[in-house]
Amino acid sequence: MRAPSFATLLAVVLPSIPAFAQAPAAAAPDLGARCRALFARALEDNRCHAILADLCATAPKRMSGSAGYATAVEWGRQQMLALGFANVRLEPCMVPHWERGAREELSIAAPGAFAGEKLAVLALGGSVATAPTGLVGRVVEFKGLGDLRENGARAKGAIAFLNQPLDPTELDTFRAYGKAVGQRWAGASEAARVGAIAVLVRSLTLRLDDHPHTGSMGYADGVPQIPAAAISTRAAERLSALLAAGHAVELKLALHCRTLPDEPSFNVVGELVGTAKPDEILVVGGHLDAWDAGDGAHDDGAGCAQALESLRLIRALGYGPRRTLRCVLFANEEFGTRGGNAYAATHADELAKHVLALESDRGGFLPRGFEGTLNDAARARLAPLYEALAFAGIAHWEPGNGGVDIGPMKGAGVPLVGLVPDSQRYFDVHHAASDVIENVHPRELALGAAAMAALLHYVDGLEGTLR
């Protein structure tokens, strides 16, 4: 379901929209001009990409609990200090600590004609290891979790291969991802229930390439824990073709990953303190942790850089703020939302004063609009902003959750909004070795930051709330 387009919404509600609350003096630029100025400044300065490039160079590997994540925390603190943010601080939380280990290998063991052929593989985050020398098993293919649940008996003593592709007919690739991600999250335990010895999952991407895409998985209570790994879409096609040709394929899998005790960690927080209502807060953020295959450039270095840049832009143009704009670089989105939960718990007493929480965690691509939890009345109050942003092609709104890290604030009634960039290329790089700075377009990234700055600036100027 999609909400009515903002053009429709605009036509219906615009006559009843109150004038922009911070009524500018006669000579002050109107909202449209201020939005254009934010976009022009973002493109002219090109700072967002520089911030992201610095993160990817300083802390390219920053999984929760790792030394790289600690480096990223210090990077975030230094960035905020350099940008002149106030109240820069580290807010503690405990995070999981899983290590990939030195060895990850998947190869064909039989039939002999193909023996030794390697298949591109990455352990899923949270997986247990195989024996040090690896395991060998015949492979049984399933078209996804449903197929496994119906026909799982075939997998007893074997390696279950879950080969559900992303649905290419979904225009919104996040929907395609949502329909297939269950095989990654729950595949190991579902396969273990029927006696499988390991699970291999087709990577969650619409591309046909050699990059395995990792991601989190979980083990159900009371079920044996078996090793779980993603294979590239090309490897999945190769394996499927061999099986379809009638070959009894056996694979050798070696994973040396392990789970260590939880580690103390931090969200990184800094502010532009409001001049008129400093106790009212707009949060903007992304998550600082990332999977280790690539550099987490899109996921979610882009969101962190855009959050920092959106505040820089607002201040560079002298747009207040009236309320406090708080940038939060969240710990541990990928592995259990511990940073988001810690933020909501730490700030429980002031969540009633949170006017908005905005997150960017869908990649640094061309911005299309926003999604979130706003009710109809609150959405209607955004109509003038959408009118002002039409020049940038920002027209999209859909109901949603805003973002994983800000999600824990939902219960307190904080309005949650997420930036929605074009989704076509996100899952090309998501959780894969290709998620590197070279695959981030500087102008598209900057435009996303400008869109976020425009939303923050507009909501900062509204009288009352979006609740």
Strand-pair partners of 359: 285, 418
Beta-sheet pairing, 135-142 with 250-255: antiparallel
- The interface region with Zn ion, picked from 96-104, 129-137, 297-305, 367-375 by CB under 5 A, is 297-305
How many binding residues for Zn ion (CB under 5 A)? 3
Closer Cβ to Zn ion, 232 or 337, answer by number:
337
Judge whether 377 and 415 are in contact, CB under 8 Å: no
- The interface region with Zn ion, picked from 3-11, 45-53, 214-222, 296-304 by CB under 5 A, is 296-304
The answer to the question of residue 444 lying near Zn ion (CB under 5 A) is: no
How far, in Å, CA of 217 to CA of 103, rounded?
Answer: 19
Judge whether 163 and 142 are in contact, CB under 8 Å: yes
- The interface region with Zn ion, picked from 119-127, 130-138, 357-365, 425-433 by CB under 5 A, is 357-365
* Least distance CB 352 / Zn ion (angstroms): 28
Residues of span 300-329 touching Zn ion by CB under 5 A: 300
| Contact pick of 295, 361, 435, 460 for Zn ion (by CB under 5 A) | 361
Q: Which residues lie closer than 8 Å to 467 by C-beta, 6 or more apart?
A: 378, 413, 415
* Least distance CB 291 / Zn ion (angstroms): 9
Closer Cβ to Zn ion, 216 or 324, answer by number:
216
| Contact pick of 271, 292, 295, 299 for Zn ion (by CB under 5 A) | 299
- The interface region with Zn ion, picked from 158-166, 225-233, 292-300, 454-462 by CB under 5 A, is 292-300
* Least distance CB 268 / Zn ion (angstroms): 16
Structure tokens that stand for 222 in this block: 């009371």
Structure tokens that stand for 403 in this block: 């973002």
Which three-class secondary structure state does DSSP give residue 88? strand
How far, in Å, CA of 272 to CA of 34, rounded?
Answer: 19
Closer Cβ to Zn ion, 270 or 403, answer by number:
403
Q: Which residues lie closer than 8 Å to 242 by C-beta, 6 or more apart?
A: 108, 114, 249
Closer Cβ to Zn ion, 306 or 324, answer by number:
306
Q: Which 8-state DSSP code applies to residue 120? A: -
Q: Which 8-state DSSP code applies to residue 304? A: H
* Least distance CB 436 / Zn ion (angstroms): 15
Which three-class secondary structure state does DSSP give residue 287? strand
Residues with a known catalytic role: 333
- The interface region with Zn ion, picked from 18-26, 268-276, 318-326, 358-366 by CB under 5 A, is 358-366
* Least distance CB 430 / Zn ion (angstroms): 8
How far, in Å, CA of 419 to CA of 286, rounded?
Answer: 11
Closer Cβ to Zn ion, 109 or 304, answer by number:
304
Other beta carbons less than 10 A from residue 400's beta carbon: 17
Burial 334-368 (b: 16+ CB within 10 A, else e): bbbbbbbbbbbeebeeebeebbbbbbbbbbbbbbb
* Least distance CB 405 / Zn ion (angstroms): 9
The residues that touch Zn ion, with contacts defined as CB under 5 A, are 299-300, 361
